[in-house]
Chains A and B, each alone.
Chain A
Amino acid sequence: MPQQDPAPRFLNLLQIRMPAGAVASIAHRISGILIFLSLPVVIYLLDLSLKEPAGFALAGKWLDSVWARTVSVLLVWSLAHHILAGLRFLLIDLDIGVDRDTARRSAWITSILALLITLGWVGWIL
């Protein structure tokens, strides 16, 4: 019986060569982390906007700022990529699109589609 390597306990991402599926997968993780980090800010804005009319106006003004618009681009990409790549993973879990060519193609499609949605958002807020 061949000796099996133990499962890696620590993954060094810089030492791994990544095909499209791996890029879509790691971007799914990065986007998830970004969404997680954005939660306190989003909830704070929700709180501010609901308390009183003045807070609502302040939240609106803040969302209009260059800073918020720039961050919103990152967040829109994160949401778009996370949902599309997540949908791809769900389909693969259901045994749809598992073979290598289809999986590779769907990885490209989800990653590019997320970038196109982000580009559309940039055009919308400019």
Chain B
Amino acid sequence: MSRHAHGLRAWLLQRISAVYLAIFLVYLVLHFIRFPSPDYEEWRAWLGGRAVGLASAGFIVALVIHAWVGMRDVLLDYLPHSGLRLVGLTLVAFMLAGCGVWALSILLIAGMQNGS
């Protein structure tokens, strides 16, 4: 894929993920207005539920994509030379990959506990 097409794809992914993230966050805010302080069992049952679990997993994937494109843009704009850029991009990539796997595994475990 050419550089130009790559940039266009990142631009589009950034916007599609943004819409999903915004919709999910509005849902979260409305949910916590309706059910302000859950106890442990309610909290686990809610996040371990199939619909909320899947929507949350989608949220995490969208968040990782969105944060990667955004942080990459920021680093490329403000880091003055390629060595620093490489270090910065590598750190961000590791952190986002780690966060994504970590968060998804938390959701998966919560979902399995609910199922059993």
Contact of A50 among B18, B92, B110 (CB under 8 A): B110
Contact between chains at B109 and A50 (CB < 8 Å):
yes
When the two chains form their complex, are residues B67 and A46 in contact, meaning their CB atoms are under 8 A apart?
no
Render A1-40 as a binary contact track against B, CB cut-off 8 A, 1 for contact: 0000000011100000000000000000100110110011
Q: Is A86 an interface residue (CB 8 A)?
A: yes
Q: Measured between alpha carbons, how far is A10 from B22 in the docked complex, in Å?
A: 31
Q: Is A123 an interface residue (CB 8 A)?
A: no
B99–A40 CB distance below 8 A = yes
Q: Are B78 and A43 in contact (CB under 8 A)?
A: no
Across-interface contacts of B99 in A (CB, < 8 A): 39-40, 43
Report whether over half of chain B's contact residues are helix, strand or loop; otherwise say mixed: helix
What separation, in Å, do the CA atoms of A83 and B20 have in the docked complex?
Answer: 11
Given known A43-B99, A53-B40, contact A90–B18 (CB-CB < 8 A) = yes
Which of B19, B22, B77, B106 sits near A47, CB closer than 8 Å?
B106
Interface range for A: 20 to 34
Q: List 17 A-B contacts (CB under 8 A).
A: A29-B74, A32-B67, A32-B71, A33-B71, A39-B63, A39-B99, A43-B102, A43-B103, A43-B106, A49-B40, A49-B43, A50-B43, A50-B109, A52-B40, A53-B40, A79-B25, A86-B18
Residues of B within 8 A of A101 (CB): none
Given known A86-B22, A90-B15, contact A10–B78 (CB-CB < 8 A)? yes
| Contact A46–B103 (Cβ < 8 Å) | yes
Q: Is the Cβ of A93 less than 8 Å from the Cβ of B15?
A: yes
Closest to B113 in A: A50
CB pair A39 B67 closer than 8 Å: yes
- For residue B70, CB closer than 8 A to chain A, the reply is yes
* Contact A50 B78, beta carbon cutoff 8 Å: no
Q: Which residue of B lies closest to A48 (CB)?
A: B106
Q: Which of chain B's residues have a CB closer than 8 A to the CB of A43?
A: 99, 102-103, 106
**A29: nearest chain-B partner, CB-CB:** B74
Query: Which residues of B lie under 8 Å from residue A40 when comparing CB positions?
Result: 95, 99
Report the Cα distance A122→B87, complex, angstroms.
37
Within 8 A of A (CB), among B27-43: 39-40, 43
